Structures are given as structure tokens and as C-alpha cells.
Structure 1
Amino acid sequence: MTLGSLIRWYTLDLSAGAALPHDVMKPTAIVALLLLAVALALSNRPAVATTLGAVVTLIGVLTLAEYASGLGLGVDVLLPGLRLGDTPPRMAIGTALALVLLGLAFCLRGVAGAAVTAGFAVLTLLLVLLTILSAAYGVSAVSDAGRPLNISTLSVLCVSAIAAAILVERPDIGLVALVRDDRSAGRLLRSGLPVIVLGPFFLGWLRLWAQRKGWFDTDLGTALLVASTIGLVLGIAWMAAVQLRALDIQRDGAFDALAVANATLENAVHDRTRELARTAERLHALIRIAPVGIVQFDAHGRVVTTNEQWMRMTGLSVEAARGDGWGRNIHADDAERVIDAWRTTIADGVAFESTFRFQTVIGEPKWVQASATRILDATGITGYLLSVTDVTAVRAAEARVEHLAYHDPLTDLPNRLLLLDRLDQALLFAARTHRGVGVLFIDLDRFKVVNDSLGHHAGDAVLAQIAVRLRAAVRASDTVARIGGDEFVVLCPDIGTAAEARQIAQAVQAAVAQPIAIGDQTALVDTSIGIAFSLGAEDAETMLRHADQAMYLAKEQGRARYEVFNDDLRGRIRRRVDTEIGLRTAVARGEIETWYQPIIDLQNPRVAAAEALARWRRPGIGIVAPGDFIPIAEETGLIKDIGRTVLQQACSAATSLRPDQAVSVNVSARQFVRSDFGSVVRRALLESGLAPGQLWLELTESAVIDVMDSATRTFDELRDLGVRLAIDDFGTGYSSFAQLRSLEVDLLKIDMTFINDLVSSDRDQSIVRGILHLADSLGLDVVAEGIETSEQYEILRDMGCRYGQGYLFARPQPDISGAALGPDLIGRVEPAPSTP
């Protein structure tokens, strides 16, 4: 509207004395109303709205000041370029008053709050209403053109819109809030407000219009106005009464619903009370028969009542337990702790949880676990409820489990965990006192024989008896432990030297060596003992490992003896570890070589075969003999790769032999029992092109006995291939005639221990002759190992031995072609010295 009026001003031409239309706003009013519209649009920016409101207030105040003083203050024309002619530019007093009120509403909205802002808006609307009524009723002093209070129609509309917008913007206060209310007040006001606002206006206008028409005089008009007003008021009262009657009906319905709900609630409370009573009865019954003890205390921690289980558990009656008497039978070791904790609970209200013992009437302690719960009501803590559970059986089971965790179940000796803990303590004590600690690692000799011959139940009885003997043989301060199988450890703290540990070891060996009666049987076992001594510098695991290593040395030295771990043994172990480390990469680096020693046909002097012998060419050391690394390889499992490498090299090299010559390869028992060994042999033959009949596989007699049950399929598979099988070191094991028959081997190799003294020993000659007769009866060929003199050769040949090998003929050499000499070998070989 203001923009339209502004454009209209610039198009009017009033210079010729033309009259200004009544519905056109004055220029200053246009500017002020436009500023108020902008302030309303930017109400979310308080600083801008406040500034614009202040400007509008200033315009209105200056205009009113011009009217009061009769002077021109420069606010009549704020817009340049207007052609006013004789028309006065000053806005009406009513417009100026409305602008002051609206400007103050914007200025004070951020300071005085919503109520003040709404108040100025309402005053503005009342001023507008006065102007409208004056115009409607024809009040000349206000509504005639040119009068100071006359406001143009557009100004009325703009001012009303801004004031109404201010009120709507604040919907939570005043009349607007009541109209927006969804409750009874809002409904009543919304129905009566149109009548209240428009009714008096219409009646007054109707009375003035009729009086002007001459229908009645002033007195009668006044009477009619009063009567109409009374009718209007009665109508409004009737509307209010209808609304109030509806509210009364709603209230009565609410009261009826409340009565029904109250009755329902009373019934529910009554039913709930009866249910709670029944629950309480059941609860009291459960408390009486509960498997746990229950005690009720008052707020001061004094006993009020108990159940029967409590009395049976503690041996106290209710009378004896009243007050502070409930703690009378607590075990003396626990009483102070429990009573202090209970007093803290009563004083501070903290939780009470405790495990302690009651001393029963018969004198046996009873372990219980107690926990207290507070009893609360609106006033606070009114008491405590203590539940007490008998955990004696649980504690006993826990103690049993803990004992089993640290003790061997068969002998009841400490196990490895407890041994290590005590050894740690002994080493700490030794480091402080400069006294020594001895550890005896004991392994039973011939215990496997006991298990195999008498059964495992007899073995368990032997272990239990040995445990008793060990405890009796050592000092009272020593610890005897079983750490597995037939292995025991004796921990000897507080000893001066290793000699004292050796004395204890001698006593242990003497005690264990005595015969052990098992029913009507007798068992005999010995002990191999390893001794480690320390002044506290080593840790427990190291001490145990040193004693274990010394024990293995004792076994290697002949069993039934003891050895002390010393620097020499430490060096041997270090060298063994070094050998093992180097051996793990020897195959991958191509350090394993195969050397060959000829096997001679003694009856028809010629080379019948060449035995393949493993050698390790170790960088920085040179050639390492089999005896220095093969046992380690077998123990660590590395023999599998070494054996496969030697087999492949031997088969490849043997392809250069004559068809009537063969290569003989030693096989470890750990190789032979593998399920894929037959495939390994088949692959070696296939890749090399060697005929199966030119390959001999040697297995030691003791290894044959160990694998006979588990490798029958491998024996059959190799026989089907056409490979010849030989028993190496024959005579050193424990094979029987029946076992030899079941093996179906081709050759027997007589161990060199029977050949060394063959010339001078009739006994060895008899053994060799017996082996030859046995082989002849089984259709087996015999190879004699270790022939070093021509006398040995001649005796074996005369006995009918088919094959032989030894330094008399040739030493091992890296080239198989050098080992495969011609038929005149015997005549050209000088006897070798008696020692290699």
C-alpha cells in the first residue's frame, strides 16, 4: 500500500490548485509506515527493528511537536521532487499518534517484553477504532476533511495491519492467547467475540441512521439503544449460559467417570491388598523353610527375628541372637573383621558382603557367605535383611581344586607349577643369603619294562611307592615334585655346595633301587639323575633345564648314575644347539653330500655295491662326520629331508654303475614310518632312472623292531617295487627268529663290533658263524662291516660270508665311480691300519 501511494504522489499534479484526494496518505506517513513494514519483516534481527522503530517514533513525535508549536520543524516533506501545490504536507494528528505507538512497540520489544509490545499494539487499534467509529457515525470534529484527527483510509488499513501483525506475532499473551486457547475459555470467547465487537457498533450506527431519517426523536432513540443493548447483553449471557451448561455436563461426566475409576481403583487396591497378604504369608513360609539363614535387623543393626535355618547354622536361638548377640559364635579369626564391617554398614549405609566362619556347637567351623539388604520406606532406612548361605562344601571343593591345580593326583606330590613357584622363592633366598640351591632331575630307568610287563596299574603303584621313598630319602626342607610320566624333581634349598646335592642324589638312588613289591610281583627300577646347582643367579626355568640336560647326559653315560651340570656340559649343549641351527638350513643350501664305500663280493672278488654315506660340508668347518649330526637330525626330525636328499643323490649317482652293481642307502626309522616313504623311493627311482633291483635300503635292527608293527604296509610296498631290504647292525638288537621270518628282508649286515676281535676271539667267531647259519637257513645274504685286516677277510670268506666292506678295501669317497673298482680290487688294496 505504501509503495502504491508513493508512486501515486509522484504522478499527481497539484500545482494548479487541484484538491488532494481524501484516500491518499501524506508523504511523511508513507515513509514512516514503510519503515515499520521493514522493521516487522526483519523482526528476527532485533537491532535493525529497534533502530527503525526509533526513527518512526521520532517522526511521529516531531509531527506532534509541529502541531503543538505551530512551527515547521522540517519533517513535513521527507521525499524530494513532490509537487504539492497548495496542499498541506503534514500528516493527521491521529496518524502521528499511531506512528508513535507502533514505533515505541518496536523500540521497547527487546527491553520491556511481549506484554508492553502488545499493549502499544492494542492502543494503536483502539485509536484506529475511534477513527473508524467517528467516520461511521459522522462525528464532524473528527471525520471532516481537513480536521487534525482525520486519518486516510489507506493509513487506517496500514496501521491496523501492522498492529494486528504485532499481536499475532505474540500469540501467548492477552486476548489473542485466550482466543487461541483450546479449552473452555477459548471456546466461549471465540463464540461471543464477533457479537461483542460488532454488536454495539451496529446498534449505534442503526440508532443514528434512524434518528436522521426522522423516525424518532433523541429520547426515544436513546431508549431504543438501551433496550437493544440489554437484548444484546442478554443474548451474550444466553450464549455464555449455554457454554457453561455444556461445561457442567462435561464436569458431571468427568465426576461420574472419576467415581467409576475410584471404585475400580478401590477394588484393585482391595484385591491387591489381599494378594499382598497371601504373598506375605507365602514369603514368611518360604523364609521359614528357606535353605539359607535369614536375619531381620532394625535400623540400629540389632536382631529382630531369624528363621530356623539361621539357628541351625549358627547354633544360636532367637533370644541369644537378639541385639548384638548374633556375632557371638563367629570364629575368633574372623570376628573383628566382620563386626567392624557390619558397624560401617550401619553407620554409613554401605553394602555388606562378607565370607567368614561360624564356630558351631560341636567345634567344627562352618563357612558362610553373608549379604545384607536395606529395608526402606518413605522415612528412610527402617532395617536390614541379612541372608547367610552355608558355603562350607563349596570352600572345601575350592580347596580341593586348588590342591589339584598344584599337586599331582597320583602321588599327591607338588606338580610343575608349585615346583617352579618354590624354586623361585628358593633362588631369591639364595641370592640374599649367598647360600646355594640344588635341583635334582630324576628319570626312572627300565620303567617302561615295568609298564609293558606288569601293566599300567602296576606302573602307577610303582610311581606312588617311589614318591613315598623320595620323600623319606630327602631332607624335611626339600620339595619332591612329579612333573610328568616317570620324571621327578627334588628341590634342595639352603645348601652350601654341589657336593651336598650329590649326597642327596646318592641317598635317592639307594632308596629307589630297593625292590618294589607289587602284589606277588617284584619291580626293579633305577634312576638317572641330573643335578643343577646355583647361588641364585639363574631363574627357575633355567635351573630346571640344566638339571634335565644333566640327566640326559647321565642316561647317555650308562644310566643308573648322576651327573652335575657344569661348564663342560654347557659347552656340549651349546655345540649341539649350534649344530642343530646349522643343520636346519643345510639341505636348502646344498651342504649335504653323499660319499660311497664299496661292498665287496668276498667269494668272487668284485664290487657288488656301494654304501651311500651322508656327509655335511659345513661352511667354515669342513666335512662333518655322520656321527656328529645324524643323531641330532633324527631327534629333531630333520632326518626326513636329509634322508630324502641322500636317497636322491645315491640313486642319481648309481645310474653310472654296472647292472650287476647296486647302491645301499641307510634309512632312519623316522623316515621309514612315514606313510609317504614308499612314494619317496618310487619318485627317486623314477627321476633317476635306476632299476629297483639296484637299490638296497638299510634299516638298523633296533629300528626294525620299533617300526615292525606300524610300517608293514611300507615293507610290502617296497617289496613290490623290487627294492632289496637289509637289516643293519645285526646282532646288537633283540630280534628273534620269528621276527626275522615276518620281515622278509634280503640281507643281514653283521655289526663291526663282532668283526673287530674276530681273529683273536673264539666267542665272536661263534657269533658270526651262528649269524651266517641263521641267514643261510632263511635264504639271506650277509654283509660283514668293518673289515680292516686280511686275516678278518680270510676268516669271513672261509666261513662262507658273501659280502664285506671296510677300510681293507676302501675308505668312503665322494665319487661313486671311484668306489666301483674292478674285480682285481682285493689284490690291489693294501691292508688299512687297525684304527680308522
Structure 2
Amino acid sequence: MRVSRESRVVSALVALVALSSLARWYTLDLAAADALPHDVMKPTTIVGLLLLAVALALADRPAVTTGVGSVVTVIGALTLAEYVSGLSLGVDVLVPGLRLGDSPPRMAIGTALSLVLLGLAFCLRGMAGAAVTAGFAVLTLLLVLLTILSAAYGVSAVSDAGRPLNVSTLSVLSVSAIAAAILFERPDLGLVGLVRDRRSAGRLLRSGLPIIVLGPFALGWLRLWAQREGWFDSVLGTALLVASTIGLVLGIAWIAAVRLRALDIQRDGAFFALAVSNATLESAVHDRTRELSSTAERLHALIRIAPVGIVQFDADGGVVTTNEQWMRITGLTIEASRGDGWGRNIHGDDAERVFEAWRKTVSTGAAFESTFRFQTLSGEAKWVQASATRILDTTGTTGYLLSVTDVTDVRAAEARVEHLAFHDPLTDLPNRLLLLDRLDQALLFAARAHRGVGVLFIDLDRFKVVNDSLGHHAGDAVLVQIATRLRAAVRASDTVARIGGDEFVVLCPDIGTGAEARRVAKAVQAAVSLPIEIGDQTAMVDTSIGIAVSTGAEDAETLLRQADQAMYLAKDQGRARYEVFNDDLRSRIRRRVDTEIGLRTAVGRGEIETWYQPIVDLQHPRVAAAEALARWRRPGSGIVAPGDFIAIAEETGLIKDIGRTVLRQACSAATSLDADQAVSVNVSARQFVRSDFGTVVRRALLETGLEPGQLWLELTESAVIDVMDSATRTFDESCAISASASRSMTSGPAILRSPRLRSLEVDLLKIDMTFIDDLVSSDRDQAIVRGILHLADSLGLDVVAEGIETREQHELLREMGCRYGQRYLFARPQPDISGAVLCPDRLDRVAPAPSIP
């Protein structure tokens, strides 16, 4: 039993009082004193109280309290024995060193009895229980009360007639404090428990306790005082004391009865209210039960017709019942599902996972959410989504309710969507996303295994002809057959993907050298080039293939781009072939990119210049015009020839700004020419077919003031044929600028067989230099040139021969009747148009110019 803080305080105070009294004894001379002071405790009393204080402080140690209580009981008992026998047993001299005189002072009988009672309380504390201990403490308090009353009323001691009880005040207070501390250690026992009760009994006792304790004391004192004053004798005094005590008790009983009756009234009211509440509650419960019964019937009906399977489990996870939808989904009857039978048809690949999750749910109450397959009796695998919730009542979990939804169709749709996300819908080949993912994996493996990865970028040649001639449905059929052939032609470990239009990619992982990739490319070309039957029609396509090989140094996008660039090189080299991406191609591409980057700012920085080369009248020696030639003065590189940047400018669309600049510069420079001289400006096909080209020409003429007849626009014949419809409209618009505006067209062999030439109004034809280089020695070239001159003469056109390098070429062309000529025989291109048109008086004396590399 734990010692309370209050008990320790009482123990300390009692010990302090006892030690103070003991100190007085050491300073007190009993022989010299007339009498012992009444407020001084006897030495034996001091010893007993010190021992009781120790026992109270160590009440949580039964062995100590029993021993100390036994010693105190012996001291008190020996003192009582001395009173009874009249002998001195030596108890009064327990404290050494005190001057007690011939007759040592002995403790009072009341004190001795108190020590015996308190010693027994501590001695029997661990054996007889708290009730016995509390009883001895109450007896001690009653003895103290008797002592106090005896002292107050002047009653003589029973053992020593004629002398009052000789108990000191400090002894009475110390004994009372220890007895009270013993009682308050167990506040749930007896009178103390009632006093501390916060309910009705405690409130009633606390209000009447002062009267009960102080009332009899006051009545007894008044009775003794009145009797000493002579108001009545002892018999009448006793009668008055009894009557007043009875009146006091009756008054207290009456007050208690009144309060108890009020409590009874409150209790009866509470019972009545409780009865009304019970009746109301029973009615509500009855109505609620009826509603719940109706709800339960509806719920069971809903469960029976629910579109999902519903299973009820007990608290141990065994099946109790199911609905019909469960049986349709799983193929299990209710009997077959009971206990653990519900999981017997779970697919083998999912069973362990599902059972482990279900065991965790049953053991810990965790949520159960799972998607798995049921193997039905027919062998069909059905995907289901299951979730369980606990059934709870006041006692806890009583079971589980599992809902099972058939998601087979949903899973199939998801799988289809996922498949479409990574596959081409027409050919069912992997698409670009899946290809890049597999290429990433192949490159990682190649880097670890020091092997190679090959990528074949395939573009179908003449596929546009199939679409245009046979229709798009035929084109789709061709693509499907090509996909089948590609899968058959490559290795089993290779991946064939369609990344758009007529472009396919073959991924060749784990290759040793580039030769393996080239063997795959040859097999692909052989397979694709075979005729393709589409109904009663036949289609033929070839392939241009670009090959890129890596050992894991590049990323997937870079390797795919390299193969794409190699494929474009194959197309440029004549199609129906393959090319391998190498350092040379990488350098060319790097130079091309560098050129493109520079061109994007060339016009804005004023780096585009126009140089001029004379066009000479071969029949009447004079300079008839100057051809405007674009030059790029690139910082750090000097003058860049048009062959190094015009093609790139056309591909990137930058030719529009370059052409506008050259046209503006040429028109401005041509204003210094004679009226019978012109400037010839090359026009890109991309620039020529733009809807605003006529506006560009008109603005250049208006801003510079050049006469329209002094401007020749030159366009290659092949470019005109490619954009014939747009070119026709642009020629017409150019003609509308001025009736005297001239248009020229560079001719190749196709001009001789083009039926669409007559749709254009052309003033001049230009013979390409490829027909002039071997003109003197080649009869074939002479025949072609004569044919062009004859055609031009029939159409009323003049002809310009390009590339005249020697005097022999010059003389032969003049004899054939060619009107104009140009090239290095006459002058090189120069930035000043005035220098270009200056010509010697006798052109027949002009020496051939040295050949220019």
C-alpha cells in the first residue's frame, strides 16, 4: 500500500513534537521543580509517539510496521500493568540521561491505552486487514474524545480517585493525528468514506456531523454548569440531559427524514420519467425494428438482383451465403463456396496473392481490395474486381461483406487501348513509342555487353504512285503486305515498327558488326521488291534504307535520327539502295546544319550579295544582259558560292528572303544599264509559286524605277514541270506586270518531250551547260542542241547557251544560230554590274578564259 503525502506530513509533525518535548526533558531539573508542567509529555510517551511516527511513515513496509507496532503495544501494556499492580516495571526509564528524581513520571492511563490501540492497529495492519486497523483507530479517537471530555468536565480518573486524567495536550493532539491518518489512508471505509462521498449520503452526513459531535458536548457542559450553580440537583440534571439529547437526536432525525423524503420524491419522479422514456423507447424500437425488417427485405431483394456478386463471410473469413450473381461469375454453388471453398476456382497465378491478402484482412481488419482471375468450370478465365467491408456491432467485427464485379470486358478494353497506344492500328506493328522503348533497352544491353545495335530506317519508293493510281485502300493493302514481308525477312529477335506513312524501322539488337545490319537490309530489299497482288492488279515498290549502328554511346532518338539521315542519302543517291551512317555523313550533316544556322541571319545582317556575269549576243557582238548570281559573304569563311547554300535555303524556305534580296539588288543595279540591256535573275521554284511573287516583282520594279523590259526572270524547266499549275498562273501574272517583261527557262532533255511547255508564254530558252561542255567533240550533244534551237525557232523564242568556255564552242554555237551565250570565255562573275557589261569591241579576239575549278 502506498503511503500518502498527508500521512508523511503527519508523521513528520508528530516526530517533531516528540523530539521537541524530549529536548525539554534534557533541560528540565525535576528535583528542583515544584511540579511537572502539564504540557510536557512523559518520556515513555515520547518514545511511543516516535515509534508510531516511524510506523506511519513506513506503512508501505509490512515487516517494519508490524515490528514497530508490537514494541509500542508492549510499552503501553507494561504501563497499564504498572497501574494495576502498583509496581514499577522500569518502563518509565527507557530514555537514558534524564534527571527523573526518585519517582519517575509515568504516562497517563489514557495515553497508555491509546498506545496499545495504535500499536495493535499497526501490528495487525498486514494480517487482519484494513477494517480491523480502522477499528483500532476509531477506538483510539473515542478514547481521546473521552479524555478530552473528562478534562473539560473535571472528571476524576478511575484508577486514581481524586485526581483528573493527567494527559498532556501535545499527547492528545499527536495521538489524534496518527489515528486520523490511519483512517484517511482508506477513505472508502466507514464514517470517513461517507463523509467524503459526494452523493446524497455524504451531503446529509456532512451537514449533520457538526451538530452530532458538538451538540452532546455542549449539552453536557451546560448541564454540569447549571448543576454547579444550584439550579437543580443531579437527578433532574440527568433527566434534562437525557431529554435534551433525545430532542437533539429527534431534530437531526427529522431533518434527515425531510431530506430523504425529498430524495424519494426525486427518485419517484426519475422512475416515472424513466418509465415514460422506456415506453417511448420501446415504441421507437418496435417501429425501428419493423422498418429494419422492411429494409432488410428490400436489401436482400437488391442483393439477389444486384449486378455484382455479393458474398457474406463470418468473423473467421468463411463463406456464409452468396447471391446468384456470384454463382454466375465464379461457377460455384453456395454449398461449394462455403468455408474456404469460395477460393478454389481462383486462377493459379493469382491464388497465393489473393489468399495472403484475405488472411491479412481477417487477422488485422485491413481493407481488402484485389483484382484477380476466376477459372470457370468451362475453362474460361474471368477477371473480377473484389472489395470487402467489415460488418460491425457493439461486440466488434461479426463478419465481412464482399462485392465481386466481373471486369473481363473492361480488362480486355484496357488491354486493347494499351495495345493501340503502342502499336500501329493498320499493320499491328509496334509504333514509335514502343520502338523507342525497345531501342532504349537494346542500347543499355549493348553498353553492358559491348555489342552493337542496328537500326534500319526504311522508306518505300514509288508508294505515292500506288496511292495515286490504285487508291488509298490499295495503299493500305500494300502497307499490310509489306509489314508481313518485313517480319518474315528479319531475325526472330528483331523488331519491325511502322512509325508513320510509308516509313518502317527495323531494330536489330545484339549484332556484332555493321555487316549483319547490311545483310538484314539486303533481305528486306529482296522481300519488298517482289510484286504485290491487290485483287486483279499488281503493285511494285522498292525501298530506300538508312542504316545506323551503335554500341550504346548514343541515345535512342539520336540513333533513329542518324538512320533517317542515312535513308535520305540513299534517296539522293538514286533510291532502291541502302546507305550506312558514317563519319563522312555526320560531317556533311554538321556542315549543313551550320550552313542553315548561318543562313537564318544572313539576310538580316546584309551578308547576301549579288554578283553579275554578262550574257553576250553571239550574232551581233555586244553584251545584251547581265545574269544576277547570289553570293554569301559569310564572316570567317569569305565568299560562299551558291552551290553550297542555295539548295539548303530552298529546303528550309529561307530562299524566299534571299531571292527577294537578290531581286531587289539586281533591279537597283540594272538601273545603270543602257535601255537595251537587261538583268537576268534566277528564281527558285519555291519562290516562284508563292501567291505574292507578282507583288514582290512589282514592288522591286517600283522601288528601283527599273523598266519591266529590262528584267528577265529565269526558272529551271524541271522545277516548272513539278509545279506546272502554279507556274502557269505566276507566268501569267508576270506577263501582266508589263507587256515587254521577259521570262526565260533553263532547258534540259525533258523540254523536248514536255507537252505542257506550250501552256507557258516564254521569251527565252537557256541550254544547260551539260550539253555545251562536250559540244565540239560529241555528235550527240550537237544533235540535242540543234533540236533545242529548232524547237525555239519554231516557237519564236531566243536561246541562251550557258557554259561557253572555248572559242570553238563560241564559233559552233554562232554557226548553229544560237542568239546568246555566257560563261568564262567572256567574263567571270563580279560584284559590279558596270564591269560585267563592259565588253571588248571585237569579241572574235577574246581569248578563252582559264578553266575555273
Give the match's secondary structure for 1:584.
helix
1:653 aligns with 2:672: no
1:534 to 545, 550, 569: 550
Which amino acid letter does the alignment assign opposite residue 811 of structure 1?
R
Q: CA deviation at 1:689?
A: 1.1
1:774 to 775, 791, 798: 791
Q: Residues 523 and 755 of structure 1: is their aligned pair in 2 closer, same or farther, counting only changes over 3 Å? A: farther
Give the match's secondary structure for 2:756.
helix
Q: Determine the structure 1 residue equivalent to 2:446.
A: 430
Q: CA deviation at 1:453?
A: 2.3
Which amino acid letter does the alignment assign opposite residue 287 of structure 1?
I
TM-score (norm. length: structure 1): 0.66
Aligned residues of 2:548 and 2:580 also touching (Cα < 8 A): yes
Q: Equivalent pairs: percent with the same residue?
A: 84
Which amino acid letter does the alignment assign opposite residue 647 of structure 1?
L
CA distance in 1, matches of 2:725, 2:278: 93
CA distance in 2, matches of 1:301, 1:266: 35
Cα deviation, 1:640-678, whole Å, max 9, x if unaligned, reads 221111111111111111122111111222222333322
Q: Determine the structure 1 residue equivalent to 2:817.
A: 800
1:809 aligns with 2:809: no
CA distance in 1, matches of 2:446, 2:605: 48
1:293 to 303, 306, 309: 309
Segments of 5+ residues of structure 2 without an aligned counterpart are: 1-261
Q: CA deviation at 1:771?
A: 2.8
Equivalent residues, number: 586
Matches within 5 A, 1:657-806: 657-710=673-726, 713-722=729-738, 724=741, 726=743, 728-731=745-748, 737-806=754-823
Aligned residues of 2:569 and 2:579 also touching (Cα < 8 A): yes
Q: Residues 346 and 754 of structure 1: is their aligned pair in 2 closer, same or farther, counting only changes over 3 Å? A: same
CA distance in 2, matches of 1:408, 1:809: 61
Which amino acid letter does the alignment assign opposite residue 619 of structure 1?
P
1:449 to 438, 454, 465: 465
Which amino acid letter does the alignment assign opposite residue 766 of structure 2?
K
Q: Residues 304 and 806 of structure 1: is their aligned pair in 2 closer, same or farther, counting only changes over 3 Å? A: same
CA distance in 2, matches of 1:266, 1:683: 103
Q: Residues 733 and 637 of structure 1: is their aligned pair in 2 closer, same or farther, counting only changes over 3 Å? A: farther
CA distance in 1, matches of 2:698, 2:652: 25
Q: CA deviation at 1:271?
A: 6.8
Q: Residues 459 and 798 of structure 1: is their aligned pair in 2 closer, same or farther, counting only changes over 3 Å? A: farther
Aligned residues of 1:789 and 1:834 also touching (Cα < 8 A): no
CA distance in 1, matches of 2:439, 2:743: 51
Q: CA deviation at 1:480?
A: 1.4
Q: Determine the structure 1 residue equivalent to 2:398.
A: 382
Which amino acid letter does the alignment assign opposite residue 668 of structure 2?
S
1:570 aligns with 2:580: no
Q: CA deviation at 1:414?
A: 1.4
Give the match's secondary structure for 2:629.
strand
Q: Residues 828 and 337 of structure 1: is their aligned pair in 2 closer, same or farther, counting only changes over 3 Å? A: same
CA distance in 2, matches of 1:780, 1:454: 40
Cα deviation, 1:265-302, whole Å, max 9, x if unaligned, reads 99887776655544433332222222211111122221
CA distance in 2, matches of 1:269, 1:764: 117
Q: CA deviation at 1:708?
A: 3.1
Q: CA deviation at 1:263?
A: 10
Q: Determine the structure 1 residue equivalent to 2:110.
A: none
CA distance in 1, matches of 2:436, 2:590: 24
2:298 to 272, 276, 282: 282
Q: Residues 783 and 328 of structure 1: is their aligned pair in 2 closer, same or farther, counting only changes over 3 Å? A: same
Q: Determine the structure 2 residue equivalent to 1:143.
A: none
Q: Determine the structure 1 residue equivalent to 2:612.
A: 596
Q: CA deviation at 1:800?
A: 3.2
Q: Residues 600 and 275 of structure 1: is their aligned pair in 2 closer, same or farther, counting only changes over 3 Å? A: farther
Q: CA deviation at 1:732?
A: 5.2
Q: CA deviation at 1:834?
A: 6.0
1:499 aligns with 2:510: no
Q: Residues 835 and 617 of structure 1: is their aligned pair in 2 closer, same or farther, counting only changes over 3 Å? A: closer
Q: CA deviation at 1:590?
A: 1.6
Q: CA deviation at 1:596?
A: 0.9
Q: Residues 654 and 267 of structure 1: is their aligned pair in 2 closer, same or farther, counting only changes over 3 Å? A: farther
Matches within 5 A, 1:255-266: none
Give the match's secondary structure for 1:329.
coil
Give the match's secondary structure for 1:426.
helix
Which amino acid letter does the alignment assign opposite residue 788 of structure 1?
E
Aligned residues of 1:592 and 1:645 also touching (Cα < 8 A): yes
CA distance in 1, matches of 2:498, 2:563: 14
Matches within 5 A, 1:635-650: 635-650=651-666
CA distance in 2, matches of 1:587, 1:392: 64
1:633 aligns with 2:642: no
Which amino acid letter does the alignment assign opposite residue 824 of structure 2?
Y
CA distance in 2, matches of 1:697, 1:264: 109
Q: CA deviation at 1:790?
A: 3.2
Q: Residues 271 and 616 of structure 1: is their aligned pair in 2 closer, same or farther, counting only changes over 3 Å? A: same
Which amino acid letter does the alignment assign opposite residue 760 of structure 2?
L
Cα deviation, 1:286-321, whole Å, max 9, x if unaligned, reads 222222111111222211111111101101000000
CA distance in 1, matches of 2:397, 2:749: 90
Q: Determine the structure 1 residue equivalent to 2:323.
A: 307
Which amino acid letter does the alignment assign opposite residue 779 of structure 2?
D
Q: Determine the structure 1 residue equivalent to 2:98.
A: none
Matches within 5 A, 1:22-33: none
Q: Residues 595 and 513 of structure 1: is their aligned pair in 2 closer, same or farther, counting only changes over 3 Å? A: same
Q: CA deviation at 1:699?
A: 2.1
Cα deviation, 1:777-835, whole Å, max 9, x if unaligned, reads 44433322222233333343333333222222222111111121358463343223566
Matches within 5 A, 1:185-196: none
1:580 to 583, 590, 596: 596
CA distance in 2, matches of 1:449, 1:585: 39
Aligned residues of 2:840 and 2:846 also touching (Cα < 8 A): no
Cα deviation, 1:350-370, whole Å, max 9, x if unaligned, reads 111100000011112111111
CA distance in 1, matches of 2:291, 2:845: 120
Which amino acid letter does the alignment assign opposite residue 640 of structure 2?
V
CA distance in 2, matches of 1:732, 1:502: 36
Which amino acid letter does the alignment assign opposite residue 374 of structure 2?
F
Q: Residues 384 and 735 of structure 1: is their aligned pair in 2 closer, same or farther, counting only changes over 3 Å? A: farther
Q: Residues 797 and 408 of structure 1: is their aligned pair in 2 closer, same or farther, counting only changes over 3 Å? A: same
CA distance in 2, matches of 1:320, 1:409: 45
Q: CA deviation at 1:331?
A: 0.2
Matches within 5 A, 1:32-181: none
Give the match's secondary structure for 1:389.
strand
Give the match's secondary structure for 2:602.
coil
Comparing 474-483 with 270-279, greater Cα deviation is found at 270-279
TM-score (norm. length: structure 2): 0.64
Give the match's secondary structure for 1:363.
coil
CA distance in 1, matches of 2:586, 2:725: 39
Give the match's secondary structure for 1:794.
helix
Which amino acid letter does the alignment assign opposite residue 514 of structure 2?
A
Give the match's secondary structure for 1:709.
helix
Q: Residues 411 and 732 of structure 1: is their aligned pair in 2 closer, same or farther, counting only changes over 3 Å? A: farther
RMSD: 3.0
Which amino acid letter does the alignment assign opposite residue 304 of structure 2?
R
1:321 aligns with 2:315: no
Q: Determine the structure 1 residue equivalent to 2:849.
A: 832
Q: CA deviation at 1:702?
A: 2.7
CA distance in 2, matches of 1:658, 1:593: 22
Q: CA deviation at 1:262?
A: 11
Comparing 650-659 with 537-546, greater Cα deviation is found at 537-546
Give the match's secondary structure for 2:746.
strand
Matches within 5 A, 1:288-437: 288-437=304-453
